[in-house]
Amino acid sequence: MNITVMGTGYVGLVTGATLANTGNQVVCLDLIESKITDLNNGISPIFEPGLDDLIKSGLKNKNLRGSTDIENCIRESDLTFICVGTPSNKDGSIDLTYIKSASASIGRALRAKEEHEHTIIVKSTVVPLTTEEVVLPTIMKKSGWKREQLGIGMNPEFLREGSAVKDAQNPDRIVMGTSDDMSLKQMNKLYEMHNCPKQKCIPRTAEFIKYASNSFLAAKISFVNEMANLSNEWGIDFEEVAEGMGSDSRISPLFLRAGAGFGGSCFPKDVKALSAASKENKVESKMLKATLEVNETQPLNVVRMAEERLGVIKGKRIAILGLAFKPDTDDVRETRSEVVIKELMNKDAQIIGHDPKGMANFKELVDIEMAKTGMEAIKDADCIILMTEWKEYTELNYGKIKEEMNGNVVIDGRRGFNQKRMEETGFDYKAIGLG
């Protein structure tokens, strides 16, 4: 199948490279020429385990290439995926600027296509009715095509940063939102090799499934964090509580790990968008609001723990280990490290940070001193705060850490260190939900 993927972010690149790897002819489209040049040279603009190899394989097999030529890409393809960004407005509502622009570009490009048949599948995360009431009308207006000439579908992505390639190659489910036979036929053909549950529904249902899924998981995290905070007051180790909860099949052990809150490009943005949409439709969700409120204050508990042990924050050298919002990614969007660092800076702490992949991106958020390695960050530190549980940090030699530090305070925002070993080594160790 000849496929155009609009957008070369996390979703677009992973989708395009994965589809190329299954034998399709894929063109990844972007208006930024430098990104396309890098892509065609086998250089990924983002870090994602396995993605570099997938891109290089696609280029070598000539199943994958990048382009800035919208008209030519659309004219030569059978199917177009829309994988552009859907950022938040100041009020949390979804910004559809890129969706509208992509739809208009597709419509204009279709005018030059001789074969008047084309399928467009929205993969970007959009609020219900966007595919039907924004994407479709725009494409029809700009192309002059009739409805029966177009296949329009919504196929939400469920990719986890850090394991996006594996998730794309082995999905646990596929949601196919469509209201016409053409798009359903194309998606069935595209995903026929995947032996997983496939749900067929209308586009607005598919759109809502994505939002409801992410909001549920975000709410689960916020609930767990509140319970972990409560366990601290009662001297209870929340990991034991989570183990007991997770053994209940109705709950499952997933997303029961307490920490400094959720970040990234999906959960915060999607919960905000759904919350804003609920207000707009006069069905305001108190639960979504509470989920966001808990997540905003949760990182401050990390700062409070540090302050309780150090006594005075001002002038103290504090090493922040981990700047990306999770391990195995360079994504710093909505990272809880930013909240912690800004609060510490407000208290006049001396901050030094490190992250295996996210330092360059984080520099664009907050300009702090960066160390070349985790151990360099630790040297002469009065306090260590673990904010991202990279193996590079959790597998460090505790004795060596103790030797390099000026103090002995360790605040674990992700429960990444071994409590017993930390305490045996002589650290003043505190973690969220430790009791």
The Cα-based distances of 193 to 159, 255, 416 in angstroms read 18, 29, 37
User: Cβ atoms within 10 A of the Cβ of 278, count?
Assistant: 16
Dist. CA 423–CA 71, nearest whole Å: 63
Strand ranges inside 346-433, DSSP E? 350-354, 369-370, 383-386, 409-412, 428-431
DSSP letter for each residue of 44-64:
-SS--TTHHHHHHHHHHTTSE
Sheet with 64-67: list strands edge to edge: 64-67, 25-29, 2-6, 79-82, 118-122, 150-154, 174-178, 198-201
Task: Please state, in angstroms and rounded to a whole number, the distance separating the CA atoms of residues 25 and 205.
Answer: 29
List the one residue out of 148, 64, 134, 149 whose CA is nearest residue 102.
134
Report d(CA 19, CA 26) in Å as an integer: 7
**Hey, which residues are catalytic here?**
266
H-helix segments, 78-202: 97-110, 130, 136-143, 164-169, 181-190
To 10 degrees, the CA torsion angle through 377, 382, 388, 394?
Answer: 80
